[in-house]
């Protein structure tokens, strides 16, 4: 099916070609993880700002904190992206490892498991006060217990953890870039130029590694294209 979207206006992509294969996927995934860490840092700094305000909007703080944790945990999850090697954790400091493990438990609360040590829901019934002269069942309900957080300390710890992970990702990214360049330099330069521009292949035609998804051809950039 032909896309109904107009041609791309991203002139900066005219001479850009896609790197395919495992190396290309690795570079793309690493860029995605870096973006997630940028989101984590931004969310944590917003949390630090919000907890200084009076009164504190605890619901908003919790929402932003949850977003930070979920975005951080994405690089550790299986999915469309390649899961990073466990060696990454070995490179973290003891304090960062502790923060990492604690945050994955928080992530599990929101995604993988409905109940763990961070939340407890207890069914209950409430009785009337005998002093009122009547003994009866007033109502059936639930007591919901949630672990409270020191958001300032947790956000600060996550910023520090994110910085350590970013350092490792940058080293891995540099290695992937070098490998890709070494491979490209073995090919004829005219052959490289003959490849279709990435914006016509991936954007205007809707081609994607996930073409099996419904409406894959309708995916479009939702903002300016950034070359990183």
**What are the backbone dihedrals phi and psi of residue 77, each rounded to the nearest 5 degrees, phi first?**
-105, 155
Count Cβ atoms below 10 Å from residue 199 Cβ, excluding itself.
21
User: Which residues, at least 6 apart from 76, have a Cβ–Cβ distance to it below 8 Å?
Assistant: 83, 84, 104
27 neighbors 18 (Cβ within 8 angstroms): no
Q: How far apart are CA 190 and CA 42, in angstroms?
A: 43
Q: What is the pTM of this model?
A: 0.68
Tokens of 20: 């395919």
**pLDDT for 81-130, tens place per residue?**
555 666 777 778 888 888 888 888 777 765 555 545 566 788 999 999 99
**pLDDT for 165-216, tens place per residue?**
888 888 888 998 999 999 999 999 999 999 888 777 665 444 444 444 444 4
Ranking 73-82, 140-149, 188-197 by mean pLDDT, the lowest is 73-82
208 neighbors 216 (Cβ within 8 angstroms): yes
Residue 222 — pLDDT band, cuts 50, 70, 90?
Answer: very low
Q: Which residues pair with 125 in a beta bridge?
A: 140
Write down the domain spans for the chain. Answer: 22-118+151-186, 189-219
Can you give the pLDDT at residue 88?
Answer: 72
Look at phi and psi of residue 81 and say left if phi exceeds 0, alpha if psi is from -120 to 50, else beta. Answer: beta
Q: Alpha carbon 121 to chain centroid distance?
A: 28
87, exposed or middle or buried, with CB in 10 Å at 0-12, 13-18, 19+? Answer: exposed
């Amino acid at each position: 099916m032909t896309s109904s979207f107009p041609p791309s206006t991203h002139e900066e992509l005219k001479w850009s070609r896609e790197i395919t294969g495992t190396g290309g996927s690795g570079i793309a995934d690493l860029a995605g993880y870096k973006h997630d860490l940028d989101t984590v840092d931004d969310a944590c700094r917003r949390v630090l700002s919000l907890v200084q305000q009076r009164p504190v909007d605890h619901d908003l703080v919790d929402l932003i904190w949850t977003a930070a944790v979920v975005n951080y945990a994405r690089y550790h999850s299986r999915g469309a992206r390649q899961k990073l090697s466990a060696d990454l954790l070995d490179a973290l400091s003891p304090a960062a490892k502790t923060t990492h493990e604690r945050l994955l438990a928080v992530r599990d609360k929101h995604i993988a498991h409905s109940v763990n040590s961070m939340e407890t829901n207890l069914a209950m019934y409430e009785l009337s006060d005998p002093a009122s002269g009547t003994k009866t069942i007033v109502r059936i309900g639930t007591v919901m217990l949630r672990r409270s957080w020191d958001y300032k300390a947790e956000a600060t710890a996550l910023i520090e953890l994110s910085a350590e992970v970013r350092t490792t990702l940058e080293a891995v990214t540099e290695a992937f870039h070098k490998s890709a360049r070494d491979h490209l330099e073995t090919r004829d330069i005219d052959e490289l130029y003959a490849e279709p521009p990435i914006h016509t292949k991936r954007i205007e035609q809707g081609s994607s590694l996930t073409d099996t998804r419904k409406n894959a051809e309708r995916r479009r950039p939702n903002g300016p294209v950034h070359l990183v």
